[in-house]
Structure 1
Amino acid sequence: MKIPLLETLGICEDRMNLLLLLYNGPMKKRKILESLEISSQALVPTIRTFEHNNIVVNHDGTYELTSIGKLIVDEIIPFLETLEFLESNFDYLAEHKLDFIPFYLLKRLRELYPYTILRPTFSETLEFNKQLEETTDASKTFYIVTSLLLPSFPAFFSKWISEGVEISMIVSEELFEKIQSNNLLFFNELLAKEQMDFLVYPGNMGFQNFILNDYCFSWHLLSKTGNVSGEQLISCNQNALEWGKELFEYYKQCSNPVTSI
Structure 2
Amino acid sequence: MILMKFTFQLFVKIVIDSVFIRLNSYDFFMIVSKELLEKIKLHHSVDFKKFIENEYFNFYVYTKKMEFSFFTFDNHHILASLQTKNGEFDNKHILCSTKDSLKWGKELFEYCLKDSVLVSEL
Q: TM-score, normalised by structure 1?
A: 0.39
Kindly tell me: are residues 186 and 236 of structure 1, through their superposed partners in 2, closer, same or farther at Cα, counting changes over 3 Å? closer
Cα distance in 2, alignment partners of residues 231 and 189 from structure 1: 26
Structure 1 alignment gaps of length 5 or more: 1-115, 128-147
Greater Cα radius of gyration, structure 1 or 2? 1
Q: Deviations over 1:53-109 (max 9, x none)?
A: xxxxxxxxxxxxxxxxxxxxxxxxxxxxxxxxxxxxxxxxxxxxxxxxxxxxxxxxx
* Aligned-residue offset at 1:257: 1.1
> How many pairs were matched up?
120
* Change beyond 3 A, Cα 1:232–1:154: closer
CA distance in 2, matches of 1:174, 1:241: 26
Q: Is the 8 A contact 2:26 2:74 kept in 1?
A: no
Find the residue that maps to 1:151 and give its secondary structure: helix
- Provide the rounded CA distance (Å) in 2 between the counterparts of 1:239 and 1:178: 32
Equivalent of 1:177, from 29, 35, 38?
A: 38
Q: Equivalent residue for 2:6?
A: 126
Tell me which of 147, 157, 161 is aligned to 2:19: 157
Aligned to 2:58: 197
Residue type at the aligned position of 1:156: S
Higher helix share: 1
Query: What 5-or-longer segments of structure 2 have no aligned partner?
Result: none
Aligned-pair identity (%)? 28
User: Which structure is richer in relative contact order (CA contacts within 8 A, separation 6 or more)?
Assistant: 2
Superposed CA RMSD in Å reads 2.8
Give yes or no for contact 2:71–2:79 (8 Å, CA) kept in 1.
Answer: yes
Contact 1:223 1:229 in 2 (8 A): yes
TM score, norm. by length of structure 2: 0.73
CA distance in 1, matches of 2:84, 2:26: 32
Match of 1:241 in 2: 102
